[in-house]
Structure 1
Amino acid sequence: MSRLPASVKSRRYDVRGRRAAALRRREGILAAGRELMLRDGYAATTVASIAAAAAVSTETVYKAFGGKPGIVRALFRQALDGAGPESAVARSDRLREGATGHALVAGWAELAREVAPRGAPLALLLRDAAGHDPKARSVLDEIERTRLLRMRDNARALVATGDVRPDLSLRDVTDVLFAVSSAELYELLVIRRGWSSRRFARFQRETMAGALLVQETADPAGQSPTTPRQTERAPREGL
């Protein structure tokens, strides 16, 4: 078996080293951007101040993200990953596999405990800047459009369980999920009223279940609660 020349091995290590260094710089820029913008505000934070805090040049920041809007966009994508080794979005998708409606909303509320503390402050930051910064408004609109589409997909998955109240349209379900997952609700209950993330997740779960699902009934044999299934009902799109 032939061995690679030392020069080839050296080049491979150089490439890996450069990639690792670039990743560290990128993570440093994101961490500095998040800290400064949440502390000082979007408008008061400059690319130069982010670069200084991350110990890189302003050119490096612009090359990596294109400016502050790109940094916030990347931070929001990072927030959607949650805290686990697998992204929260991927875990949310897996929840749909054979789950009941009540299991789905419970799983979504638990995932929100990871995502909301990371993502909601960024959405609120953009909301406060959007009135005087068109680029911030554009990023916020993009984030909200993406969230609405995600909630519509979740609504379809919830309806497919057969556990959604028969008087609700797909649009009704989407709107409730959109409201419950909003940064404004997080701001009201967690930031202003001081709720814990656990209490907030419980409120989300109970609100979604109470507003959207056929209520569970006790099994007469003393087993676990069951939910009347609406298997023959086709969802009303209403969109």
Structure 2
Amino acid sequence: MRRAVNGPDAAGGRQPRTYDASARQERAARNREAVLDAARDLLFRSGYAGTSITAVAKAAGVSPESVYKYFGGKAGLVRGIYERGLLGSESVPAELRSDAAQLQERDPLRLMGTWGHLVAEVLVQGAPVWILMRDAAAAGHTELTLQLEQIREKKYHRMRANARRLLQSGHAKASLTEQQAADIMWFYSSPELYEVLVVQRGWNPDQLAAFVSTGLAAQLL
């Protein structure tokens, strides 16, 4: 981003020159990522109650004011970590890869396979953070309650859109309503499923992906 500022010309007057803000924006983006990395590490070591904005700022090498500027407080910071997890682990965000698969894939079984892979990828990144938020909210940190409600609402809106496209493709069971299809997708992509199978039972991501793929295929197609 460039904007004009005034500077002296050869005749001693003033003429516009440009100011390149891209370096400042890149530095801010790096700082934001450093804050998210530091906060995630501290949260999983010390818990929500035991993690302070001051400690996060120190670990990230920024000021506490910068953390508040980026995220508005600890609850917003934790949500930022969760939302980064939704991007997945590849350069192209998981949501965009899902959209592309729905547009391009003609084989519904392969689409379910892609969805299973993406669900597992995102859950590995985001479900531990969601579980931390849920448990902290239940322990009395009510500032997280609204964050969780907004996350659920946004996710369900996404599931409804996926369900609508699947029904329009003609590959879904004729008996399914849009709401039922969305509910099934909601279940198979839920952090609670990750908690039971991965955290409690020790499944690995490949096993989770296969379970989600076959489950979605059996329930939806």
Fold-level similarity (TM above 0.5): yes
- 1:174 and 2:197 matched: no
Match of 2:110 among 78, 103, 107: 103
Match of 1:80 among 77, 86, 89: 86
Partner SS for 2:202: coil
Identify the residue that residue 51 of structure 2 maps to in structure 1.
Answer: 45
TM-score, normalised to structure 1's length? 0.80
Q: Which amino acid aligns with 2:95?
A: V
Q: What CA deviation, in whole Å up to 9, does each residue of 1:138-192 have, x standing for no partner?
A: 1111111111111111111221222222222222111111011000000110111
In the alignment, structure 2 segments of 5+ residues that lack a partner are 1-8, 10-15
- 1:27 and 2:33 matched: yes
Identify the residue that residue 184 of structure 1 maps to in structure 2.
Answer: 192
Matches within 5 A, 1:16-165: 16-98=22-104, 99-131=106-138, 132-165=140-173
Structure with greater proportional strand content: 2
Conserved in 2, the CA contact under 8 Å of 1:92 and 1:108?
yes
Q: What CA deviation, in whole Å up to 9, does each residue of 1:39-79 have, x standing for no partner?
A: 22112211111112112221111111111122122222211
May I ask how many residue pairs the two structures share in their alignment? 205
Over 3 Å counting, the alpha-carbon distance change for 1:101 and 1:161 in structure 2 is farther
Identify the residue that residue 232 of structure 1 maps to in structure 2.
Answer: none
Q: What CA deviation, in whole Å up to 9, does each residue of 1:67-121 have, x standing for no partner?
A: 1122122222211211222111111111111534323221111112321111111
Q: Which amino acid aligns with 1:68?
A: K
Q: What CA deviation, in whole Å up to 9, does each residue of 1:212-236 have, x standing for no partner?
A: 21xxxxxxxxxxxxxxxxxxxxxxx
Partner Cα separation in structure 2 for residue 204 and residue 79 of structure 1: 18
Partner Cα separation in structure 1 for residue 47 and residue 197 of structure 2: 21
Conserved in 2, the CA contact under 8 Å of 1:101 and 1:162?
no
Identify the residue that residue 205 of structure 2 maps to in structure 1.
Answer: 197
Conserved in 2, the CA contact under 8 Å of 1:47 and 1:61?
yes
Partner Cα separation in structure 2 for residue 208 and residue 63 of structure 1: 41
Deviates more, 1:198-207 or 1:73-82: 73-82
TM-score, normalised to structure 2's length? 0.86
Cα root mean square deviation, aligned: 1.8
Partner Cα separation in structure 2 for residue 124 and residue 72 of structure 1: 11
Identify the residue that residue 231 of structure 1 maps to in structure 2.
Answer: none
Partner Cα separation in structure 1 for residue 45 and residue 154 of structure 2: 26
Q: Once the two structures are aligned, what percentage of the paired residues are identical?
A: 38
